């Protein structure tokens, strides 16, 4: 048992040049896009002025979805149990079409910026939107950010041997810098660059690893015999525990996407329906993704972007899952380790070392220079998804929570609050590192998966019904969400208490609670919430049609006037802002002569963040009435409409082919 | 009869053994259940049904094995064919659905257009392009580069 611990510090000139080149490109694109859009308004900063064309939309959808968590998690799970984990990616192909064709048209005609805002318009009241914004922020911090940082840390530790704190703080600082200064436009253009880098780098690694293992057919042959050497299979203390062969032999169905519904690790009904529901939450109702679509120029561009993202989502199976399996074939003793003490020596965790599959490949297979490229890839994945989460969470916070605390807040204040919140999130993420490090028992991934599949389905169900069923009303949606949350917590609590266990030491969670696969549970939760929502809705009075024009799918083309359910609150905010403006004008007239020049530094910061000194005056009653007559436009040119429809069909056919191929 | 490929001869026996074990267990469960049913005077038909279920179960399990023999690309092609067929059916249904709807819409528009057309014998609709719905109407196009969201 002698593992040569390669501490590869990147210190050769080729690697450093590549990394420097990467940073120059990203910062260059960030600065270039800063000048392209007006960042001083809410629409400009949070929605990129609604001027994006299809390719930044598609690339940005992809880049904000693919994080470093995918590289570590997909490759790791692929190494441990085969290609079924790719179902998570390939399911998204269909869900992303659902987003472009069914959900975004409604969001566009509703004229909203955030998802809680949509629910507020659709149902009225404030409790639903408050619940949604709080739970979204919770999920961002405890699942998305931590999973990305955890896997980034794994990579940096394994491949580079850098200090995690310094590395992560530096990364977060750069990310925060261009999120704060540029707004969504800068983000989406840099995301496009990041997508190129991610795909190019991952392709190079895939090529090298397939050459190393000897081609695809050799992988098929060798994977099932990728066992750790016999001396590493025996328990060092047989009186305490035995190692059954099931714990270290690769699964028989490793090359099947659809597995046995009862005994499989990812049963096929769960893979088909459960992932679709969790994916429905992620792709169709979550701020991070929807915000990118709302920034598009027109609905056709949204759809084209979704198709592009769909095609790109075909790749992770080949770029991440297969290399992970190759890694197990090449390094069965390390990646496929089974004895806890050995695992501890290899990667620092006792449960298993499948998470190091991808970093191990990078370190061992790639030559100088290209290793730097792979680091750039990981940085790109990490930074793009973190930056998206930063931007979206700041949008949520500003638009939904801050406007509630201070209804008189005007554009300029909102801009500043949004940027300050990004800094807060960065601080929280940095404080989160020790927790992430402590939780490096290899189980973090399980927890995160369970957190998502126990909390997300009720949200997906409520959005789905809100958009497609006119009859659903406020009490129905609220009690549905609460009931769903309760059910989810009933499952989550015991799982956290008992732990999810490992192959050697299964958890002693009672079968009744933890026996149901988490994907099955997601389906169950989705339908229970849906039924609850419908039941309560039919018990209580319906919402009149005049409040729902252009807020539900069946009325999306309606041209009637809508009486917003939240108009009182909006009106109150507008009145408060107008009063503040009046007051400001009065004081400014007095101070005008005395205090004309601000300090140079303040002005520089203001310019850097795109905050112009003057802001548009608050619209008067007449202007508001005029603006409300201008309906949002979701009409499409027939030619291009048919073109994107046909493309979507082709993409679905391709996806179905791949599903069939690996079924 | 059905060829089952095992990559490793050493482990194939182990796998077979495990498979047989689970099969036998399932069978004993079923037979005890059948015995219970017999005792509880539920009639022969239920027993027959249960036996049928058992047979179906094994048959489907074997069919699954047989399907594994198909090459990957063929399952892919079959899946695509089935998918396209479903899309075709959906398209037909949609077409039939929309046909009836647009008919009723056309009737409606004719009624409204007669309200404002001058009644000097000619009808505006006779010169109206049938393809473009608003071909002779002046459409105001708002084309601003950037839209500012109303707060």
Distance from B109 to chain A by nearest Cα, in Å?
Answer: 16
The lowest-confidence range among A82-91, A170-179, B42-51 is: B42-51
Contacts of B71 in chain A (CB under 8 A): none
End-to-end, the C-alpha distance of chain A in Å comes to: 38
Please report the pLDDT score of residue B49 as a whole number.
52
Please report the pLDDT score of residue A8 as a whole number.
53
The lowest-confidence range among A82-96, A214-228, B54-68 is: B54-68
Minimal CA–CA distance to A495: which of A449, A432, A440? A449
Q: How far, in Å, CA of A198 to CA of A125, rounded?
A: 43
Mean pLDDT to the nearest integer, A504-520: 80
Q: Is B77 within 8 Å of A657 when comparing Cβ atoms?
A: yes
Does the pLDDT at position B28 exceed 90? no
Q: How far, in Å, CA of A157 to CA of A155, rounded?
A: 5
Does the pLDDT at position A447 exceed 90? no
Does the pLDDT at position B26 exceed 60? no
What is the ipTM score, two decimals? 0.77
Name the one residue in this structure whose structure tokens are 């905050």: A611
- The string over A163-190, giving b where at least 16 C-beta atoms fall within 10 Å of a residue's C-beta and e elsewhere, is ebeebbeebbebbbbbbbbbbbbbbbbb
Mean pLDDT to the nearest integer, B23-44: 47
End-to-end, the C-alpha distance of chain B in Å comes to: 72
Cα torsion angle, A217, A222, A224, A226, sign: negative
Residue A606 has which token pair? 């203001």
Contacts of B142 in chain A (CB under 8 A): 630
Does the pLDDT at position A472 exceed 60? yes
Contacts of B78 in chain A (CB under 8 A): 660
Render pLDDT for B69-98 as a digit per residue (tens, 0 to 9). 788 889 899 999 999 999 999 999 988 887
Does the pLDDT at position A498 exceed 90? no
Tell me the helix, strand and coil percentages in chain A, rounded to 5.
Answer: 75, 0, 25
Q: If you write DSSP's letter for every residue of A417-459 in order, what string do you get?
A: HHHHHHHHHHHHHHHHHHHHHHTTTTTHHHHHHHHHHHHHHHH
Q: How far, in Å, CA of A561 to CA of A542, rounded?
A: 19
CB A58 within 8 A of CB A92: no
Contacts of the segment A156-164: beta carbons below 8 A, 24+ positions apart: A157/A348, A158/A347, A158/A356, A158/A359, A158/A360, A158/A363, A159/A8, A159/A359, A159/A362, A159/A363, A159/A371, A159/A374, A159/A375, A160/A8, A160/A9, A160/A10, A160/A375, A161/A7, A161/A8, A161/A9, A162/A9, A164/A433, A164/A437
CB A433 within 8 A of CB A168: yes
Instruction: Give φ, ψ of A358 to 5 degrees.
Output: -75, -50
Helix (H, G, I), strand (E, B) or coil at A52: strand
Mean pLDDT to the nearest integer, A283-307: 91
A650 in contact with B at a CB cutoff of 8 Å? no
Q: Is A51 within 8 Å of B87 when comparing Cβ atoms?
A: no
Helix (H, G, I), strand (E, B) or coil at A124: coil
Among 1.10.10.10, 2.40.370.10, 3.55.50.30, 1.20.1730.10, name the CATH number for the domain at A13-232+248-566+633-662.
1.20.1730.10
Does the pLDDT at position A192 exceed 50? yes
Residue extents of the structural domains in chain A = 13-232+248-566+633-662
Which residue in chain A is spatially nearest to B70 when comparing CA positions?
A: A661
Cα torsion angle, A18, A20, A23, A24, sign: negative
Minimal CA–CA distance to A119: which of A466, A399, A471? A466
Enumerate chain B positions whose Cβ falls within 8 A of a Cβ in A.
7-8, 11, 14-15, 72-73, 75-80, 83-84, 87, 142, 145-151
Q: Compare CB distances from B145 to A41, A43, A51 and report the shortest one's residue.
A: A51
Render pLDDT for A44-102 as a digit per residue (tens, 0 to 9). 777 777 888 899 999 999 998 988 888 888 888 888 888 988 888 999 999 999 999 99
Please report the pLDDT score of residue B141 as a whole number.
57
Which of B74, B142, B151 should we substitute to test contact with A (largest number of A Cβ atoms within 10 Å)? Answer: B151
Minimal CA–CA distance to A216: which of A83, A89, A56, A84? A83
Residue B80 has which token pair? 């695509």
Give the Å distances, CA to CA, from A558 to A93, A104, A106, A335, A561: 30, 16, 11, 58, 9
Does the pLDDT at position A276 exceed 90? yes
Render pLDDT for A233-262 as a digit per residue (tens, 0 to 9). 777 777 777 787 888 888 888 888 888 888
Does the pLDDT at position A271 exceed 70? yes
Does the pLDDT at position A440 exceed 60? no
Please report the pLDDT score of residue B18 as a whole number.
45
Distance from B80 to chain A by nearest Cα, in Å?
Answer: 5
Residue A102 CB neighbours (<10 A): 15
Q: Is A269 exposed, middle or buried (0-12, 13-18, 19+ CB in 10 A)?
A: middle
Please report the pLDDT score of residue A624 as a whole number.
62
Of A297-306, A425-434, A634-643, B96-105, which has the strongest mean pLDDT?
Answer: A297-306
> How much is the pTM?
0.78
Note the maximum CA span of chain B.
95
Render pLDDT for A402-413 as a digit per residue (tens, 0 to 9). 888 888 777 778
Contacts of the segment B78-84: beta carbons below 8 A, 24+ positions apart: B78/A660, B79/A656, B79/A657, B79/A659, B79/A660, B79/A663, B80/A653, B80/A656, B80/A657, B80/A660, B83/A652, B83/A653, B83/A656, B84/A653
The lowest-confidence range among A466-470, A534-538, B104-108 is: B104-108
Which residue in chain A is spatially nearest to B147 when comparing CA positions?
A: A49
Helix (H, G, I), strand (E, B) or coil at A292: helix
Q: Compare CB distances from B87 to A49, A410, A649 and report the shortest one's residue.
A: A649
Confidence of residue B131 (pLDDT cuts 50, 70, 90): low
| Residue partners of A439: CB distance under 8 A and separation at least 6 | A150, A447
Please report the pLDDT score of residue A536 as a whole number.
94
Please report the pLDDT score of residue B147 as a whole number.
52
Q: How far, in Å, CA of A76 to CA of A382, rounded?
A: 17
Residue extents of the structural domains in chain B = 14-69, 71-101
Which of A566, A580, A646, A660 should we substitute to test contact with B (largest number of B Cβ atoms within 10 Å)? Answer: A660
Q: Compare CB distances from A660 to B11, B79, B142 and report the shortest one's residue.
A: B79
Name the one residue in this structure whose structure tokens are 């800094």: A423
Contacts of A41 in chain B (CB under 8 A): 148-149
Q: How far, in Å, CA of B54 to CA of A3, rounded?
A: 52
Whole-number percent of chain A with pLDDT over 90: 24
Please report the pLDDT score of residue A583 as a whole number.
79
Name the one residue in this structure whose structure tokens are 């064709």: A101
Confidence of residue B37 (pLDDT cuts 50, 70, 90): very low
Minimal CA–CA distance to A38: which of A615, A600, A581, A604? A615
Residue A459 has which token pair? 């949200």
Please report the pLDDT score of residue A615 as a whole number.
56
Mean pLDDT to the nearest integer, A207-223: 90
Instruction: Give φ, ψ of A267 to 5 degrees.
Output: -60, 145
B41: left (phi > 0), else alpha (psi -120 to 50), else beta? left
A296 in contact with B at a CB cutoff of 8 Å? no
Does the pLDDT at position A471 exceed 80? yes
Please report the pLDDT score of residue A330 as a whole number.
92
Please report the pLDDT score of residue A528 as a whole number.
95
Q: Is A524 exposed, middle or buried (0-12, 13-18, 19+ CB in 10 A)?
A: middle
Q: How many CA atoms lie within 13 A of A426 on its CB side?
A: 24
Q: Supply the mean pLDDT for chain A.
A: 82
Render pLDDT for A330-368 as a digit per residue (tens, 0 to 9). 998 888 888 888 888 887 777 778 888 888 888 888 888
More confident position, A307 or B67: A307
Q: Is A44 within 8 Å of B148 when comparing Cβ atoms?
A: yes
Q: If you write DSSP's letter for every residue of A553-586 in order, what string do you get?
A: GGGTT--S----TTHHHHHHHHHHHHHHHHHHHH
Q: How far, in Å, CA of A616 to CA of A410, rounded?
A: 10
Contacts of B151 in chain A (CB under 8 A): 42, 410-411, 414, 577
- How many residue contacts between A and B have a Cβ separation below 8 Å? 70
Confidence of residue A376 (pLDDT cuts 50, 70, 90): confident
Does the pLDDT at position B19 exceed 50? no
Does the pLDDT at position A630 exceed 60? yes
Instruction: Give φ, ψ of A394 to 5 degrees.
Output: -70, -35
Mean pLDDT to the nearest integer, A262-284: 89
Distance from A51 to chain B by nearest Cα, in Å?
Answer: 7
Q: How far, in Å, CA of A578 to CA of A587, rounded?
A: 14
Confidence of residue B110 (pLDDT cuts 50, 70, 90): very low
DSSP state of B117: S
Contacts of the segment B4-7: beta carbons below 8 A, 24+ positions apart: B4/B65, B4/B68, B5/B68, B7/A221, B7/A224, B7/A225
Minimal CA–CA distance to A235: which of A505, A521, A614? A505
What Rg do the C-alpha atoms of chain A give, in angstroms?
26
Render pLDDT for A633-645 as a digit per residue (tens, 0 to 9). 777 888 999 999 9
Residue A435 has which token pair? 């927790």
Distance from A273 to chain B by nearest Cα, in Å?
Answer: 17
Does the pLDDT at position B38 exceed 60? no
Does the pLDDT at position A42 exceed 90? no
Please report the pLDDT score of residue A598 as a whole number.
57
A653 in contact with B at a CB cutoff of 8 Å? yes
Q: How far, in Å, CA of A172 to CA of A164, rounded?
A: 12
Which residue in chain B is spatially nearest to A625 when comparing CA positions?
A: B150
Q: Supply the mean pLDDT for chain B.
A: 57
Please report the pLDDT score of residue B81 as a whole number.
93
């Amino acid at each position: 048992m002698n593992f040569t611990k390669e501490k590869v510090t990147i210190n050769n000139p080729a690697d450093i040049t590549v990394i420097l080149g990467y940073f120059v490109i990203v910062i260059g694109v960030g600065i270039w896009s800063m000048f392209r859009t007006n960042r001083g308004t809410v629409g400009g900063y949070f929605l990129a002025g609604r001027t994006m064309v299809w390719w930044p939309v598609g690339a940005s959808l992809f880049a904000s979805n693919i994080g470093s968590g995918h590289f570590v998690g997909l490759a790791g799970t692929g190494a441990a149990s085969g290609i079924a984990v790719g179902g998570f990616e390939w399911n998204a192909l269909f869900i992303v079409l659902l987003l472009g064709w069914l959900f975004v048209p409604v969001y566009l005609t509703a004229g909203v910026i955030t998802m809680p805002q949509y629910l507020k318009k659709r149902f009225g009241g404030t409790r639903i939107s408050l619940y949604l914004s709080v739970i979204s922020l919770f999920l961002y911090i405890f699942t998305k950010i931590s999973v990305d940082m955890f896997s980034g840390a794994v990579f940096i530790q394994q491949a580079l041997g850098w200090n995690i704190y310094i590395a992560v703080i530096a990364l977060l600082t750069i990310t925060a810098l261009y999120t704060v200064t540029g707004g969504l436009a800068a983000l989406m253009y840099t995301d496009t660059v990041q997508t190129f880098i991610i795909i190019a780098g991952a392709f190079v690694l895939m090529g090298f690893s397939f050459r190393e293992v000897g081609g695809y057919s050799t992988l098929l042959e060798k994977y099932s015999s990728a066992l750790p050497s016999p001396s590493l299979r025996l328990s060092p203390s047989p009186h305490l525990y035995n190692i059954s062969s099931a714990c270290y032999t690769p699964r028989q169905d490793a090359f099947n996407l659809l597995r046995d519904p009862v005994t499989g690790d990812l049963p096929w009904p769960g893979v088909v329906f459960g992932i679709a529901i969790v994916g429905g939450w992620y792709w169709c109702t979550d701020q991070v993704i929807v915000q990118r679509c709302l920034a598009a120029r027109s609905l056709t561009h949204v759809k084209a972007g979704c198709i592009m993202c769909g095609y790109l989502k075909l790749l992770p199976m080949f770029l991440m899952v297969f290399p992970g399996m190759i890694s197990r074939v090449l390094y069965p003793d390390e990646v496929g380790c089974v004895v806890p003490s050995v695992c501890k020596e290899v990667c620092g965790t006792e449960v298993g070392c499948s998470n190091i599959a991808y970093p191990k490949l990078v370190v061992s297979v790639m030559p100088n220079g290209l290793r730097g490229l792979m680091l750039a890839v990981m940085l790109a994945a990490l930074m793009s998804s973190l930056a998206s989460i930063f931007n979206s969470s700041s949008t949520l916070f500003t638009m939904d929570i801050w406007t509630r605390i201070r209804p008189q807040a005007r554009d300029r204040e909102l801009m500043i609050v949004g940027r300050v919140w990004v800094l807060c999130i960065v601080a929280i993420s940095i404080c989160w590192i020790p927790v992430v490090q402590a939780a490096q028992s290899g189980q973090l991934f399980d927890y995160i998966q369970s957190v998502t599949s126990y909390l997300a389905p009720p949200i997906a169900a409520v959005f789905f019904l809100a958009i497609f069923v006119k009859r659903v009303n406020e009490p129905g949606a609220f009690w549905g969400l609460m009931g769903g949350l309760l059910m989810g917590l009933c499952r989550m609590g015991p799982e956290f208490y008992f732990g999810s266990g490992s192959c050697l030491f299964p958890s002693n969670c009672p079968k009744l609670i933890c026996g149901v696969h988490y994907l099955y549970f997601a389906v169950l939760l989705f339908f229970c919430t849906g039924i609850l929502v419908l039941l309560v809705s039919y018990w209580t009075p319906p919402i009149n049609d005049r409040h729902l024009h252009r807020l539900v799918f069946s009325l999306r083309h309606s041209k009637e006037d809508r009486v917003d359910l939240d108009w009182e609150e909006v009106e109150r905010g507008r009145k408060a802002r107008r009063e503040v403006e009046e007051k400001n004008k009065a004081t400014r007239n007095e101070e005008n002569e005395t205090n004309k020049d601000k300090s140079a530094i303040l002005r520089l910061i203001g310019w850097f963040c795109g905050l112009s000194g003057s802001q548009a005056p608050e619209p008067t009653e007449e202007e508001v009435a005029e603006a409300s007559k201008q309906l949002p436009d979701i009409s499409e040119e027939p030619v291009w409409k048919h073109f994107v429809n046909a493309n979507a069909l082709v993409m679905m056919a391709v996806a179905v082919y791949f599903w069939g191929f690996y079924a | 009869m059905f060829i089952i490929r095992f990559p490793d001869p050493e482990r194939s026996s182990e796998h077979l053994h495990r498979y047989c074990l689970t099969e036998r267990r399932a069978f004993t469960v079923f037979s005890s259940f059948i015995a219970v049913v017999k005792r509880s005077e539920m009639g022969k038909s239920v027993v027959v049904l249960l036996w049928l279920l058992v047979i179906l179960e094994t048959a489907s399990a074997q069919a699954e094995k047989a399907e594994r023999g198909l090459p990957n690309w063929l399952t892919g092609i079959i899946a695509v064919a089935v998918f396209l067929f479903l899309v075709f059916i959906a398209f037909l249904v949609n077409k039939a659905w929309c046909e009836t709807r647009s008919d009723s819409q056309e009737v409606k528009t004719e009624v409204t257009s007669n309200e404002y057309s001058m009644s000097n014998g000619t009808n505006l609709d006779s010169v109206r392009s049938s393809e473009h719905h608003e071909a002779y109407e002046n459409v105001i196009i708002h084309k601003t580069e950037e839209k500012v969201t109303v707060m």
